[in-house]
Each structure stands twice: as structure tokens, then as C-alpha cells.
Structure 1
Amino acid sequence: MLSTIIKASAVSLALMTSMSVAADTVMKFASWAPPSHVQNRVVIPTWGKWVEDATQGRVKVEIEYGLGHPKTMFDLVEDGVADAGWSYHGYVPGRFKLTQIAELPLLGANAEAASVAHWRIHQKYLAKADEHEGLTVIGLFTHGPGQIHTAKPILSLADLEGQKIRIGGGIQGIIGDRLGITAVGAPATKVYEMMQQGVIDGVFMSTDVQKSLRLKEVAPNLMLFPGGMYLGSFSLFINPDFLASLSAEDQQAILSVSGEKLSAMAGKAWDQSDIDGLNAAQEYGVNIQHVTTSDAIYKEFEQAIKGMDDEFIEMANQQGVDGAAALHELRQIVQSYP
């Protein structure tokens, strides 16, 4: 009799364990960047651990690669092909305009400070424009300061005129137009190959790519502007139907480890990746030119970007957003960020 009870208990325990395992939800997180990218090495796994801890193991996050071009990530998640994802707003210029607020030149901030400001300003001013329609935004961040990586040395901005420069979109596209470059659109993952084959003469990107995309091997000249020329705006997002399929407790748990906390972490991770990229460039022997605010080339840049703030403010006002107030507050947050 006792043996029968023990066996029945064992079967019951096994069934309960099986049900517990089956009840775990796997969130498919789409990523278009290589596994070596800081998003896949640090940001998504860290957030995934936060999610798993917050939901007591009921929700786990798994990265899925190869689902499509980065500009398709928004649609893939909205359509439920993936449960969550991340991408660069500049890849979809007709849809995302207000997010350019965090990209404007000479903000003078690292990615962590800019990302926190980006999130707060979005929540207060920009979210009502619903540029992320069909998605639940869980984080906003920027890459580090955008710099100039070229095959040949640049002595003045006039040297860039007519050169084929890879542009990712967003504010950097406007800067490229003002500098007279020949813009070449391509995802970041194609840059190494394009530089190696001479399809492009250079790129505007943050310094992390010197290591993460091995640009140190094909872009032997790196010009660093103080604070960078611009920043790049990204978002992390979840399919709202997927989120709604979870218990209210797990929904709240996921959101509690997202938002500003996730945005700050993503920005901080990119800052470290920029440091790693710059160190790799130095070790490899890349020609690094440090521009100062008193240099003629910096004055050239200041002249080239005149009026860009006003253009953004006018566009934001047309979208029903107080552009001047939002931009002023964003810069205040950056300046006071720890």
C-alpha cells in the first residue's frame, strides 16, 4: 500500500513539474545585429535575467537572429512574428521623426545620459504622437557620440564633399546633406564589407564599431569630435498582444524592469562598448584625430549645422508637440544627469 502511495506521489510530482515547465513563457526577442554586438552580449541578456527574476522564472527571454533587415523589426514584432525586438529609428524615416530629438548635434552627452533623457522626454512629450503605434515601447536609448571613420585622412570638412559615406538615417542623414557627401544607405552589418570593397569611403558611426564590426581593419582614420557630431536613436519594444497574454502580475513585473531602468542600462553598455572600440583602434594603430572646440574643423561643423534645432522644433510643433520645451528639457536632463 505504501509503495503504491509513493508511486502515485511521484507521478503527481512529475506531472506538476511538467506542468510548471510547460507554463513557462519564452519571449522571442528578435535581433538583427551579430551576437558580438553589445545589445546581444550585454543588454538583452541582462534585461532577460531581470525579467526572469521579476516573474520568478515564468517568463524567459531568448534572442532570435536572422528574421530580417533591422528596418523590418518594428513590423515583425507588431505582426507577432517575434514577441519583442529592437531597432534604429533612422531606418524608417517616414515613421519616426520626433525621436530625432535625442540625435541633434553637439548634445555633449554620453549614451547613458542621453538614453535616460530620451526616455523621460518621450514619456512626457512624444508618446502622445504615437510613432510606435502597434507596439509597446519598453525602452529608448542612443548609441554613443557619432564620429567619422574614413579610408583616407580628413583635414577639413570640405574633404568629405562628394565622398561616398554610409548613412544610417535620422539626423546623420541631414548632417550628411549639409556636408555635401554622397550618402549610401546600408545596415550597419554591411559596413565592413562595403569599406573593404571600396564601395564607400567612410561611415558616420560611434567608436564601438572599431571593435564590434572590426572597422579598425578597413577604416584606418578616425576623427573624434568632442561630444560627437550626433547620436543615434533606438527603441526596444514588445508586441502588445503578447504582453496581454501574460498574467497581470507578469505584465507588471516586466514593465517594472523596463522603461528608464532598461534605457539607462542600454546606454551605459554602449558607452563601455565605445571605450572598448576606441581602445581596439588605438592598439591596432588607427590614425585617431582628436578635434577640439578651437579647431577650424569644429568651427566648420558648427557652421554646417546652424538652424537644425529650429527645423526640429518646427517639425515637432506640426506634430502637436512643444518642440522647444521638449528640447530644452532634454538638454537640462542631460546636463544634470549624474
Structure 2
Amino acid sequence: MNLKKVLAIGLFMGVAGQAAAETTLRVASWLPPTHPQNAVVWPTWSKWVEEATEGRVKVAIEYGMGHPKTMFELVEDGVVDASFSYHGYVPGRFKLTQAVEQPLLGTSAEAASVAHWRIHNKYFAKAQEHDGLEVIGLFTHGPGQIHMAKPVSSLGDLKGKKIRLGGGVQGEIGHRMGVTAVGAPAPKVYEMMQQGVIDGVFIPMGEQKSLRLKEVAKNVVALPGGMYLGSFAMFMNPDFLADLDAKDREAIMSVSGEKLSAMAGKAWDAGDAAGLEAAKEAGVNITMVKDGDALSKEFVELTKGMDEAFLKSVADRGVDAKAALTELREVARNYK
């Protein structure tokens, strides 16, 4: 064999070895590409992962993988390597996560997300609600507000109205208001509003822009601190992680956890700010309720007893949920 062939084979083997050493981490997403989760959160984390693994692990976002509630199973079964979803889409499995969703927390999504991560690891992880998944981040969306086709002047006006609810604590709030709950994933809300299937939706302000609700939900009631927060997890397939080289596994986890949770919450906060501006520009009728206003007092009265109801609902989880709830609020409200 001549020298040229030897060099060519060596070069080929080197390139092949380099290619074989690269791993693609496939992330399933169910929100539109323009949403902050896909425009900011996953791309930022992807960059972190590639840098931390020195390019050995690259991240690819894939769309059209199904209903958000199926993301947990898709990752558990190894159909994809990672994803995220809203805990409220799987009622019964996730109960402790509702601690961060309880009304009147009054903080940003970033602060709530950091508290969510810390309290989960200190108190809730041992209950194994995420069994079969490697949780890499926990976050919340911003304050959930009231978005309607027609204006409302009091919470009593919502009684009997068809409202899309995503599950979790907002379901209990809707029940207390006497609304007719309609279940559907968030990306379907625009179509349902446009067709008159629902009268409104409880959702953060960011969706005025990201889901184009400014075109169909022209009336918003924004309560101080919102009505609730929504709990989300970002998670990976444990087998995928286990198959990685130890240094790459450690590298990925080093850019996840609280760092990823805080970044995600901050991105959703920014999305809310952009949504508010987009709604104003579109001429949406926004009622900014202040503390002490009649609507604010009405909501505070409506939510009385919800802490107790939550604690009762998780009594079988074997954790000190009361201490966790108290500490979660301290962490979130003192976060800087």
C-alpha cells in the first residue's frame, strides 16, 4: 500500500471517528418556533450544552411530535431524548408541583422558577412524581391573566362562560368562579377563540403575542401578580444520559438545574413584557387591576382556603408540604 493510500485511510478514519464521537440530543417541542421557549430557552441551553461538551453533543429541536401531555411518555420511551411540558396536562401524576402555582405568590417567573427548582430538590424529589425521567429544569410561566372576547367588569361576569383551562391550580380557580371549563393545549386557543368555541382563556400575557391572542381576545383583565403561575418541567431520558461519556453527562447537568430554570423563567418574563406591548399596539382593552381594587379584593376572597386544599391533596405524598410551601414563598419573594 502506497503512502498516499495510507494517509487517505488515516484521514478518513480520523474524520469518521470524529463524526462518531458527536451525539445529537433530540428535543421535542410543541409550542410554535416563535415562542420564547423555542426562540430563546432551548437555543440558549443548546449553546451551553455544545460549549460544555466541546461540541461532542449537539441539540436539535423537533416539532409536530404530538399533544404536550404525551411529551413525558415520548421521553420515557426514548422516542426523543428530551422535552418539556406543563404538569397540569397530566392530572393525578403531578400534585406537588402545584405548590408553585398557588395564588398570590406575587413574584416574577424567574424568581418562582428558582424557588421551584430548590424546593423540588429539597422536599419533593423523593416523592418520585417524575419517575422515569431525568429532570433538568423546572420553571413557571408568568402570572396567568384573564383574556376574553368580550369585556368583563367583575369575576362574577365569568360565571357560566366557556373558558379554556390548562389544568393544575387554574382548574380550581375556574371551578370557584363557576366557569365552564374547556380543555385544550395552548396552541389550539387561537383557533377556538376565532371560532367562538370558547369565550376566553386563563393564560399569561405573553400569549397575546406568541399565540396571536391580540387578534381574538381583545379584552384582558390583569390582576396584580396574576391569578396563578403554571408549573413546567424540562426533562431527559435517563438512558440517553447514561449512554454518554461521564464527562459529557456531567457537562450537560452543569448547565442545567437552577441555571436552566432561572434562564427559562426569565425568558418567559420577557415574553410577557413583549406580549403586553403587542397587545397595547393592537388596541386590546387591558384592565390593569391594582391592589385594593374591587376586582383584586374579589379574587383574594375567592382564593381563601386554597392552601389548605393543596396540602390535603398531597397528604399521601410523604413529604412536608406545609414547610415546603412556606419556604418556596420565602425563596421566591427574596430572590434577587
Shared topology, TM-score over 0.5? yes
Out of 33, 37, 47, the position equivalent to 1:39 is 37
Output the aligned Cα RMSD.
1.1
| Alignment length (residue pairs) | 336
CA distance in 2, matches of 1:198, 1:118: 36
Deviating 4+ runs (over 3 angstroms): 4-7
Instruction: Say whether 1:110 aligns with 2:116.
Output: no
CA distance in 2, matches of 1:227, 1:302: 11
Partner of 2:56: 58
How far does the alpha carbon of each residue in 1:34-69 deviate from its partner, in whole angstroms, 9 at most, with x for none?
Answer: 111111111011101111111111111101111110
TM-score by length of 1: 0.97
Partner of 2:243: 245
CA distance in 2, matches of 1:312, 1:110: 22
Q: What secondary structure is seen at the aligned counterpart in 1 of 2:275?
A: helix
Aligned letter for 1:302?
V
CA distance in 2, matches of 1:124, 1:6: 61
Instruction: Indicate the larger mover: 20-29 or 162-171.
Output: 20-29
Partner of 1:261: 259
Partner of 2:132: 134
Q: What is the aligned-residue identity percentage?
A: 67
Stretches of structure 2 that go unaligned for 5 or more consecutive residues are: none
Contact 1:313 1:322 in 2 (8 A): no
* CA positional deviation for 1:327: 0.6
How far does the alpha carbon of each residue in 1:136-172 deviate from its partner, in whole angstroms, 9 at most, with x for none?
Answer: 0000000000000001111011100000000000000
Partner of 2:293: 295
* CA positional deviation for 1:7: 5.1
Aligned letter for 2:228?
Y
CA distance in 2, matches of 1:46, 1:22: 25
Q: What secondary structure is seen at the aligned counterpart in 2 of 1:63?
A: strand
Contact 1:314 1:323 in 2 (8 A): no
CA distance in 1, matches of 2:313, 2:191: 36
Out of 136, 141, 153, the position equivalent to 1:143 is 141
CA distance in 2, matches of 1:171, 1:248: 39
Aligned letter for 2:217?
A
TM-score by length of 2: 0.98
Partner of 2:167: 169
- Residue pairs, 1:88-99, within 5 angstroms: 88-99=86-97
Q: What secondary structure is seen at the aligned counterpart in 2 of 1:243?
A: helix
Q: What secondary structure is seen at the aligned counterpart in 2 of 1:222?
A: strand
- Residue pairs, 1:174-185, within 5 angstroms: 174-185=172-183
Partner of 1:227: 225
CA distance in 2, matches of 1:62, 1:69: 19
Contact 1:134 1:239 in 2 (8 A): yes
